[in-house]
Structure 1
Amino acid sequence: MDTTSIIIGSILLLLFAGPILYVIYLQSLKDKKQIRILNEEGARHNLKFDHTEISNSLLLGLDTREKKLVAIEPDNECKTTIVDLVKISDSRILKKVIPNPSSFKDREKIMQVSIELMEAHGVEKKTSQILFYDEDGRDSEDVGSRLTTALKWEKLIKTSLSA
């Protein structure tokens, strides 16, 4: 191989692989920033997370020892919700669906996926919702992956409730 071929090959490699590596680097920086935000919020409330979830529209942290769930919405000015699981009696997945206008019969299109947390005590039993997917939102992830994530977190929450 001569020097010209090596130079041309290196330039082509940089042209094609460079942008991909740059996007991976930017996503890594964004993930580290979101993890830092979640850990700072946990430290502010003396929580150490056993389980975490990072996505574009939701940061979740679960401290099983203190039985607290922290949900942060980065798109909504980092709105933070802290749920004391000791006060929660039950949780369930909520799916808002509409009939799918496609050619498949009896199929529904999922518009929203969330977990509903119902309080156990009190005259007014409050419920909290953690939104995982919204069709109208800016999150680029598909509904299938978000539904799988919601099911995983519902299982973690139910495990914390029974413990």
Structure 2
Amino acid sequence: MDTASITIGSILLLLFIAPVLYVIWKQSLQDKKLLKKLIEEGARYNLKFDHTEVSNSLLLGLDSGNKKLLAIEPDNDKTTLVDLVKISDSKILKKVTPNPSSFKDREKIMQVSIELMENKRGEKVSQILFYDEDARDGTDVGTRLTSALKWEKLIKANLSI
């Protein structure tokens, strides 16, 4: 190989790799910023998180020692602190509509959330939204459903029943 071929190959490689590396770097910075926001908000309530999750539309932190769950929606700065001692049950809710595609028995998931029920009255205390089709935040419903299943399991493990 001559020098010109190596130079052209290196330039082309940089043209294709540099944008990908830039996007990864920007997303990493965004995730660190959101995690810092979650930790700072948790510190206001004296929480030390055992489990955290950061996405563009939802920040979650669980303090198993204090049995508290902190949920933050960064888009609208809505913060929800849930005392798991007062919760008796949690369940995943999926809102679905018939899928107009060629698969007749399939349904399209429009929304995925976890509903938390109160001990005494059995009323809904809080609902944590993991996925909303209308939000168009770029998340995949399968990924968010898996995340909701994981968090429901963590929440149930920390309920005082």
Q: Same fold (TM over 0.5)?
A: yes
Letter in 2 for 1:90: D
SS in 2 for 1:92: strand
- TM (norm. structure 2) is 0.94
Supply the RMSD in Å over aligned alpha carbons. Answer: 1.5
Q: Deviations over 1:65-117 (max 9, x none)?
A: 000000010111x2111100000010000011111111212221111000000
Following TM superposition, by how much is the alpha carbon of 1:3 offset from its aligned partner in structure 2, in angstroms? 3.0
Instruction: Provide the rounded CA distance (Å) in 1 between the counterparts of 2:124 and 2:149.
Output: 22
SS in 2 for 1:144: helix
SS in 2 for 1:103: coil
Greater mean deviation of Cα atoms: 136-145 or 57-66: 136-145
State yes or no: 1:68 paired with 2:68. yes
Q: Deviations over 1:1-52 (max 9, x none)?
A: 4332332222111111110111011001000000100000111111000001
State yes or no: 1:80 paired with 2:86. no
Q: Conserved in 1, the CA contact under 8 Å of 2:85 and 2:160? A: no
Which residue number corresponds to residue 140 of structure 2?
142
Letter in 1 for 2:149: L
Instruction: Please list, as runs of the form range in 1=range in 2, the aligned pairs for 1:1-163 lying within 5 A after superposition.
Output: 1-76=1-76, 78-121=77-120, 125-162=123-160
- Identity across the alignment (%): 77
Letter in 2 for 1:140: G
Distance 1:75 1:138, change over 3 A: farther
Runs of 5+ consecutive residues of structure 1 not aligned to the other structure: none
Instruction: Provide the rounded CA distance (Å) in 1 between the counterparts of 2:136 and 2:87.
Output: 30
Instruction: Provide the rounded CA distance (Å) in 1 between the counterparts of 2:136 and 2:33.
Output: 19
Q: How many residues matched?
A: 161
- TM (norm. structure 1) is 0.93
Instruction: Provide the rounded CA distance (Å) in 2 between the counterparts of 1:14 and 1:106.
Output: 47
Following TM superposition, by how much is the alpha carbon of 1:154 offset from its aligned partner in structure 2, in angstroms? 0.2
Instruction: Provide the rounded CA distance (Å) in 2 between the counterparts of 1:103 and 1:12.
Output: 42
